[in-house]
Amino acid sequence: MAKKTLLIVGLGNPGEKYAHTRHNVGFEVMSRLEGYYGVKLRRKFLLQGQTAEITDGETKIVLCEPLTYMNKSGECIRKLLNRFKVPQEQMIVIFDDIDLPPGKVRVRKNGGAGTHNGMRSIAGCLGKTDFPRIRVGTGDRPAGESLVDWVLGRPTGEEKEKMEAAFDKAAEVVRVWIKDGIEAAMQKGNQN
* pLDDT tens figures, 20-49: 999 999 999 999 999 999 999 999 999 999
> What pLDDT is attached to residue 11?
98
- pLDDT higher than 90, residue 97: yes
Q: What is the CATH code of the structural domain delimited by 4-189?
A: 3.40.50.1470
Pick 17 or 142 by higher pLDDT.
17
Q: Which of 23, 120, 135, 169 is catalytic?
A: 23
Q: How high does pLDDT run on average in the chain?
A: 95
In the 3-class helix/strand/coil scheme, how is 124-180 assigned residue by residue? HHHCCCCCCEEEEECCCCCCCCCHHHHHCCCCCHHHHHHHHHHHHHHHHHHHHHHHH
pLDDT tier at 1, thresholds 50, 70, 90:
low
Query: Residue ranges per domain, the chain?
Result: 4-189
**Cα Dmax for the chain:** 55
74-95 pLDDT tens trace: 999 999 999 999 999 999 999 9
Number of C-beta neighbours around residue 20 at 10 A: 14
pLDDT tier at 115, thresholds 50, 70, 90:
confident
Its sign, for the CA torsion 24, 30, 35, 36, is positive
Instruction: Specify whether 116 is catalytic.
Output: no
The DSSP letter of residue 22 is G
82-89 own/partner pairs: CB under 8 Å, 24+ apart: 83/46, 83/47, 84/5, 84/7, 84/60, 85/5, 86/5, 86/6, 86/7, 87/130, 88/126, 88/128, 88/129, 88/130, 88/131, 89/130, 89/131, 89/132, 89/182
Q: What is the chain's alpha carbon radius of gyration, rounded to the nearest angstrom?
A: 15
142-190 pLDDT tens trace: 888 898 999 999 999 999 999 999 999 999 999 999 999 999 999 999 9
Q: List the one residue out of 151, 8, 20 whose CA is nearest residue 91.
A: 8
